[in-house]
């Protein structure tokens, strides 16, 4: 029990997948009042996302694959955080490949991230009596139907556990079972964030992700491709709102174990595409193609629990979020053109 309260000035927080899109923004936000241990193996992330954080004395990056057992006392660079005396107080487990483009050859890594890595990070939570937040996904709800678009946390999803995507979709369901089982057996304060579509700066530009692909195509004057038809719609939550939601979930009491986080405003992808074309001053056209095999039709989050229990709701307007993302994409694309390293 000696680890539950920080002995020294700041709490120690571990973020797995900390060099990824969400992870890097989370690390940046946590630095205001915590020592941040960022752990990542770069299988689906980039040093560029965190290079601006390396200068901070209360930030430490460790290149490590969390599908292997984690012994924080073995890393000498963490001595400055007195981990051997106060452990860690919070663990955010975000490490998991999410790349549509690289999905096929990261299947085993995805499977391990949703199994081995779950047990390794939850074991740390037990060891240090640390609060724990797992970044799950809206895919656990399964398919969307015309009469069931908005999902509540107590909805039971249906996922094909033998499909090409099951290492991720069914994997997230198993991962949630791990979290809840550790809650029951070890009485740890472990929580599940069901994350819906999120966008913003630091999304990888070469991964087949919707918003970056739209922006790059518009900048290059190429057709903006929508894999679907004019009715294709989904929610889009800006990254700063998502990070605020994750932190609020971590700070909530032990009675809070599962919350949807995302935008409950539906937007048509064709409208987003035209907006990006307009904002970039592009002459691109929108083109529709057949849906890709790995893309699933996504539902919307019912946010009643997030609003009532966390006092959270998304605040950033789509136009503002898109502008930030466009600015970042243009800058990053220029860096790649001049030989910068992105991966």
Catalytic amino acids? 168
Which positions ≥6 away from 237 have C-beta within 8 Å? 196, 197, 198, 199, 261, 262, 263, 314
- Distance in angstroms (rounded) separating the CA atoms of residues 245 and 248: 5
- Distance in angstroms (rounded) separating the CA atoms of residues 257 and 90: 15
| Residue in 312, 319, 330 with CA at minimum distance from that of residue 201 | 330
Q: How many C-beta neighbours within 10 Å does residue 147 have? A: 5
- Which pairing describes strands 266-268 and 233-235: parallel, antiparallel, or unpaired? antiparallel
- Distance in angstroms (rounded) separating the CA atoms of residues 200 and 207: 14
Q: Dihedral, CA atoms, 153, 155, 159, 161, nearest 10 degrees?
A: 80
Residue 148 near residue 95 (C-beta atoms within 8 A): no
- Sign, CA torsion 140/99/231/304: positive
Cα 200 from chain centre: 11
Residue 260 near residue 304 (C-beta atoms within 8 A): no
């Amino acid at each position: 029990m000696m680890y539950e309260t920080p002995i020294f000035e700041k709490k120690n927080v571990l973020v797995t997948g900390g060099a990824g899109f969400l992870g890097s923004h989370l690390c940046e936000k946590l630095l205001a009042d915590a020592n941040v241990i960022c752990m990542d193996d770069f299988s689906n992330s980039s040093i560029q996302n965190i290079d601006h954080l390396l200068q901070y004395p209360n930030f430490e990056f460790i290149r490590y694959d969390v599908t292997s057992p984690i012994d924080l006392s073995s890393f000498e660079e963490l001595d400055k955080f007195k981990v051997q005396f106060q452990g860690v107080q919070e663990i955010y487990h975000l490490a998991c490949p999410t790349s549509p483009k690289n999905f096929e050859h990261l299947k085993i890594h995805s499977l391990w991230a949703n199994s081995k890595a779950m047990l390794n990070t939850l074991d740390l939570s037990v060891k240090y009596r640390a609060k724990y937040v797992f970044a799950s996904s809206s895919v656990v709800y399964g398919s969307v139907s015309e009469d069931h678009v908005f999902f509540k946390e107590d909805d039971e999803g249906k996922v094909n556990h033998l499909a090409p995507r099951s290492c991720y979709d069914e994997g997230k369901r198993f991962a949630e079972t791990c979290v809840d089982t550790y809650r029951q057996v070890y009485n740890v304060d472990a929580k599940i964030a069901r994350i819906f579509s999120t966008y913003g700066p630091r999304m990888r530009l070469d991964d087949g992700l919707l918003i970056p692909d739209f922006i790059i195509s518009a900048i290059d004057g190429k057709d903006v491709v929508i894999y679907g038809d004019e009715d294709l719609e989904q929610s889009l939550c800006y990254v700063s709102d998502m990070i605020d939601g994750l932190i609020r979930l971590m700070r909530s009491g032990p009675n809070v174990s599962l919350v949807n986080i995302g935008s409950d405003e539906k937007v048509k992808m064709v409208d987003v595409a035209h907006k990006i074309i307009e904002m970039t001053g592009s002459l691109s056209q929108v083109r529709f193609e057949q849906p890709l095999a790995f893309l699933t039709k996504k539902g919307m989050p019912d946010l009643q629990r997030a609003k009532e229990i966390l006092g959270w709701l998304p605040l950033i307007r789509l136009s503002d979020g898109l502008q930030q993302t466009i600015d970042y994409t243009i800058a990053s694309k220029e860096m790649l053109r001049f030989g910068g390293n992105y991966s």
